[in-house]
Amino acid sequence: MERTKKLDALTRFAKKNAVMLIAFFAALITIFFVPVDKQYKDYFDYKTLTCLFCTLAIVCALKNIRFFYKMAHKIVRMFKTAKLSVLALTYITFIGSMLIANDMALLTFLPLGYIVLTTTGKEKYMAFTFIMQNIAANLGGMLTPFGNPQNLYLYTKFHIPTTEFMSIMVVPFAVSIALMTLCCCVFVKSEPLELAEERFPSAPWKTAIYLLLFALSIVIVFRVIPYWIGLIVIPAALLVMDRSALKKVDYPLLLTFVFFFIFSGNMARIDGVRELFSKLLQKNTLLFSALSCQCISNVPSAILLSQFTTNYQDLLLGVNIGGVGTLIASLASLITFREYLKHNPGKGGYYVAVFSAFNFGFLIILTALMLVI
């Protein structure tokens, strides 16, 4: 019995942290080709890891006081039809991903989508709504350096000026908004709905302090102050105000970055791999990076391919647009799939079919557009 429990626990851990385990074994394999030496310490982007940790910690603290949920709940109550509510949920997730990163936006706003649809009897729109929220999270985060983990990494690695970063991403960002709006208008009817009133506990002083800490993390991302200040101030503040927020940080995501830093660093030191990737990226960086995401996800693609090209403009576009497509193109997509199956067991095949249709549609349109421009 005890052995069975341990096996079940290990299985649940493996399913929940599949990407981290893949990254670990990928790093482990490359160590056989490139043994550990002094160069390993140069693999890690400490500022990226620090910024990601600080942002995740503050978001967890804000979630604990239901800040994002309350904000989204009020916005949705302003709309009276299924079409406008699904649009609102999509836009909220889209905007949220720009501020709190795509995976955190989904973990925050997917439950709201579920509550809105189930309490109003509109469960038939759940797969579509979750898919639109997923696309919104992956594409909404492309505009800001901290919207997606791969953005934060590339922004830091190539020292991209903030205005240039946003100018690179503004066209696919605007097109994504238009495509999502069109999909919601076409596939959701203007059916009337009502959302019950809900009371939330008030914590104004905590909200104010957490928002200040969040602002501090954003200032660090934009290189206004040294990153080590945030590493001291933010954990110290949360130790006093909400230790549970530090416990809830997505440490497997941070470890995933660590393992992929090792993997990509070692791959860059293997002559045959370096020559192959360099040639492919020289032919078409945007297309190759977008296709790479479909196989190994957008974050590892960004980390790996950045070792072989200086064309950060096309690389940035590719790993952001490439976040849509297959289920493994982005960690956020796996989060959405897991959340949908939790509420709709046995409907995984239907979800994947609808998910693939919309995601590959977005991928083809955005990639073709950016290749033409």
Q: Find the domain containing 73 and state its range.
A: 43-190+200-372
What are the residues whose beta carbons fall under 8 Å from the beta carbon of 318, sequence distance 6 or more? 285, 286, 287, 288, 289, 290, 292, 293, 301
d(C-alpha 57, C-alpha 68), whole Å? 14
Amino acid at 311: N
Q: Is residue 172 included in any domain, yes or no?
A: yes
Q: Are 45 and 157 in contact (CB under 8 A)?
A: yes
Confidence of residue 143 (pLDDT cuts 50, 70, 90): confident
Q: Is residue 260 included in any domain, yes or no?
A: yes
Q: Is residue 243 included in any domain, yes or no?
A: yes
Q: Is residue 1 included in any domain, yes or no?
A: no
Q: Is residue 353 included in any domain, yes or no?
A: yes
The pTM (predicted TM-score) of the whole model is 0.77
Q: Looking at 130-139, 140-149, 158-167, 237-246, which range is the least confident one?
A: 140-149
Q: Are 337 and 347 in contact (CB under 8 A)?
A: no
Q: Is residue 93 included in any domain, yes or no?
A: yes
List, for residues 193-218, the tens digit of each pLDDT value: 776 666 767 778 888 999 999 888 87
Q: Is residue 332 included in any domain, yes or no?
A: yes
Partners of 192 in the beta sheet? 81
What is the count of structural domains for the chain?
1
Nearest in space to 148 (alpha carbons), one of 129, 127, 176: 176
Q: Is residue 18 included in any domain, yes or no?
A: no
For residues 145 and 338, the model is more confident at 145
Amino acid at 129: T
Amino acid at 274: R
The dihedrals phi and psi of 192, each to the nearest 5 degrees, come to -70, 145
